[in-house]
Structure formats: structure tokens, C-alpha cells
Amino acid sequence: MDSGKPSHRGSFGTRLGVILASAGSAVGLGNIWRFPTEVGNNGGAAFILVYFGFVLFLALPVMVCEFLMGRSSRSNTVGAWKVLAPGSPMIVAGYMGILAGVLILSFYSVVAAWTLDYTFMSLTNQLTGDQDYAKIFQTFVSNPWKPLVFLALFLLLTHWIVVRGVERGIERYSKLMMPLLLVIIVVLAVYAAQMPGAEAGLSYLLRPDFSKVTPSVALSAMGQALFSLSVGIGCLTTYASYFRRETRLMSSALSVCLIDTLVAVMSGFIIFPAVFSVSGVGVDAGPGLVFITLPYVFNSAFSTMPVLGYLFSGLFYLLLILAALTSSISMHEITTAFLTDRSVQKNVNKSENYGLPRRRAARIVTLVCILLGTACSLSFGPWKEYTLCGMGVFEWFDYVTAKFCMPLGALMISIFVGWYMPHREVRDQLTNWGTLSVRLYGIFRFLARWVAPLGVAIVFLNELFYGTTK
């Protein structure tokens, strides 16, 4: 466990860097693309309230557990288990994290690739006028090569940042992109709130109708909370292995949850007033909400001032790209760190640690993700017929990770930290070796031991047997 000695691994330089990098991982397509989709499909304000509950009582404690494991072990998602639970079968959670990281990055990059194309189209003024936006979207995603070019471009951009290392790559670019993202989102939300007819959208988000909360809505909210906060696959364990001794784990986790939730809610405030201000557009358009409904909304809402429509949509897709990029680097780093790390512990078999140069490790991850991402992307076009149980490659990757790996990982992490990790080490990590108050410690312990594992177990078993959130 952490001896306080400097290691050969990188570290985040500042407190702000820690928060912005971790928040960068959390804030992503999950907030701006998936959250409004889920809200629209699950009835609005009531879903949001339930979601808040899961963030606070479930995802937040698991995030603290991941932070704790990462800083205590100073190792990647697999290494952390080797160091903290040597010889334990729980190491499968580590390997599952690697698998999930690669799979999520592969399908996530497909949506990011669409976003890149839409940014490009909106900046070159191709998304204006009275057009059939559903057809434009369909034609693009089913094109055999165009989405692949953008997919490779997006992954190479991610690669370019990751090879620069922890401080000069991840931290530096998160510090640059996150404030920009926050500014864009506030500008767009203020703008959207002033659109004619926006009140209907605002009341949809602010007036809960609790009759809409069914068990399946609650389960969707829980799945969304885990995905949105990047917990369960060791992504934040990896980031926390770069935290310094002074980093406050609990308050950092709280800040990350706050920023993530704020961005999700603000995305709702951008999308729903805009959608409601245009008659004839449904809130439950599903994944197409952002790519089909919004261009249509931008055009109708600003039909008398096309310049504003052009600016609004350009800024929106730029926001989506920034958010996707700060998350994709964190997914990439899970496996890059795994391949780069050398043995830091005597009891770890050296041959199990790859110790590759960062450049080579990152190249392997990027290449594998381009290949797997290509399969996901093609499943919208030429490979559409290749399905298993009715799902194509993209859907399978999404299903296996969000419905299986993440809940199972979160379950194992909270059980391990809550029940098996030495009490003293947990306390030392959370109070920075006795220098911080112990007030919240009791609450954390209760949440980590009981609430989080039971909560995740319920969603996991339900998804496994009934697949209700699918």
C-alpha cells in the first residue's frame, strides 16, 4: 500500500487538475446524449429526482471506493487488485475493467464519430434549411466508409492526448477543455430558456409526476448513474493512482458528482425547452434526439435568424465533442496504464506486468479500438444483418458493458472496500492520514457496506434476468 515514496508513475499536478480530469471522465456523451434520451423515455422530472438519489447514495460511494483503491495501491485497475487483494479471485473485476474499457471506447467512438461529422456539417452550414434530418442521419450512419474515417480521426485525437502522459496530456487538456465545455453549456442553456414556448420544456423538467416512477424507470436511473459517473470498471481507480497524498478523496468525489449532475441537468435544460418550443417534435425520440430532432429544432426555432441557428448548432456539437474526448481519454488510459505499469510490489510476479513504453501501449489500445469500433460502426450499415438475439455488434458492446460489467464491477468494488479492505487503510486514505475530519467517514462506511452493494445487486440481477433497462 501507499508508502508515500515517489513512484516512477506520473501524477496530477494540481487539485484543480484532479477534479477537472475526473469530472472530464464523468462528463461525456452519457450526460449530453444519453441522459436527455433517458429522461425523455422515462417521463421527465420524476426520473431526474430518482436519478439524483442513485447518484448520491450509490454511484458516489462507489466512486470514493475506486479513488481509495487507486491511491492506496498506486496501480492500474488490475494492479490495484493484485496489490490490495493478492491471490484473490476478485482480480476478475480488474480484467473485466480492461475488457469493458476497450469495448466502451470502441462503441463510444462511433457516436463520437457521428458528432464529429455533425460538428463539421453544422460549421459548413449543411444542417440548415428544410431538410429530412432523419434521412440525413440514416444515410450517414449507414455509409460504408465515411463514419469510419471520423471514427479513426476521433480515436487518433484521443491517442494524441494520451501519449503525452498524465500531467502534460490528460491533465493539461482536461484543464483546457472542461472550462470551455462549462462555458458553452451555460451559454446554450440561457439561450434555450429564452426560446418562445420554452416554459413547457422547463415544466417538464421541474414538475415531477410520481405516478410515472415504475421499477423499470428506477432501474434505468440506476444504470444511467453508474455510466454517467464512469464507475465500476476501474477507470477512476486508474486516475486516482495519479493522485497525490494531499488530494482529498471524498471532497473530490463530491465535486465530480456535482459537476457531472449539473452538466446532465443543464443538457436537459438545453434540449427540452428547445424541443418543446417546436411543435410536432416528441421528447421520446430516443438516440436520434440529438442527431435528428435537434437539427430540426435549431432550424425551426431560428427560422427568422438562421445565423443564430447556425451558431447554436455549431456550439452544441462542439460541446458534445469536447465532452466525448475528455471521457475517451479516461477509457483509453485504463488499458494504457495496465500495459505501461511495472511491478511496484515484491509479491507481484514480474512477468505479469507488461511495463511497455507509453507510446507502444497507447498504440496497441488505439489500434484495437479502431478495429472493434469499425465492427460497431459497420453494424449500422453493411453489417446490419449480422445480429445475435436481435442485437448488432454496437448494441452487444453497449449491453455487455453497461448492463453486465459496470454493475458487477461496482458490486465487487463496494463489497471489497466495505468489507475486506483493512479498516485502518480505508480510514487513513479518507482522512489523509488523520489530517482531515472523520465526520463523513461513518456515513461513507454505511453506504459502501450496505446501500451500494444491495442497490447494485438489485439492478444487476434485474437486468440479468429481466433486461428491463434495455
Paired strand residues for 391: 388
Number of Cβ atoms within 10 Å of the Cβ of 29: 22
Instruction: Identify which of residues 191 and 403 has a Cβ nearer to ligand PHE in the complex.
Output: 403
Instruction: Identify which of residues 122 and 238 has a Cβ nearer to ligand PHE in the complex.
Output: 238
> For residue 426, with 0-12 CB atoms within 10 Å meaning exposed, 13-18 middle and 19 or more buried, which class applies?
buried
Instruction: Identify which of residues 238 and 277 has a Cβ nearer to ligand PHE in the complex.
Output: 238
Residue 225 identity (one-letter amino acid): A
Collapse the DSSP code of 207 into the 3-class scheme (helix H, G, I; strand E, B; otherwise coil) and give the result.
Answer: coil
Alpha helices in 341-405 (DSSP H): 358-378, 393-400
Residue 155 · residue 366 · CB < 8 Å: yes
User: Cβ of residue 231: shortest distance to ligand PHE, in angstroms?
Assistant: 8
Residue 324 · residue 28 · CB < 8 Å: yes
User: Cβ of residue 48: shortest distance to ligand PHE, in angstroms?
Assistant: 16
User: Cβ of residue 280: shortest distance to ligand PHE, in angstroms?
Assistant: 30
User: Cβ of residue 267: shortest distance to ligand PHE, in angstroms?
Assistant: 11
The 8-class DSSP code of residue 290 comes to: I
Instruction: Identify which of residues 225 and 315 has a Cβ nearer to ligand PHE in the complex.
Output: 225
Instruction: Identify which of residues 290 and 426 has a Cβ nearer to ligand PHE in the complex.
Output: 290
User: Cβ of residue 318: shortest distance to ligand PHE, in angstroms?
Assistant: 16
Instruction: Identify which of residues 228 and 366 has a Cβ nearer to ligand PHE in the complex.
Output: 228
Instruction: Identify which of residues 79 and 381 has a Cβ nearer to ligand PHE in the complex.
Output: 79
For 398-443, the three-class secondary structure string (H helix, E strand, C coil) is HHHHHHHHHHHHHHHHHHHHHHHCCHHHHHHHHCCCCCCCCCCHHH
The 8-class DSSP code of residue 450 comes to: I
User: Cβ of residue 182: shortest distance to ligand PHE, in angstroms?
Assistant: 15
Residues in touch with ligand PHE (CB under 6 A): 25-26, 28-31, 104, 227-228, 230, 233, 235, 327, 330-331
User: Cβ of residue 323: shortest distance to ligand PHE, in angstroms?
Assistant: 7
Apex CA 325: angle with CA 468 and CA 139, to 5°? 65
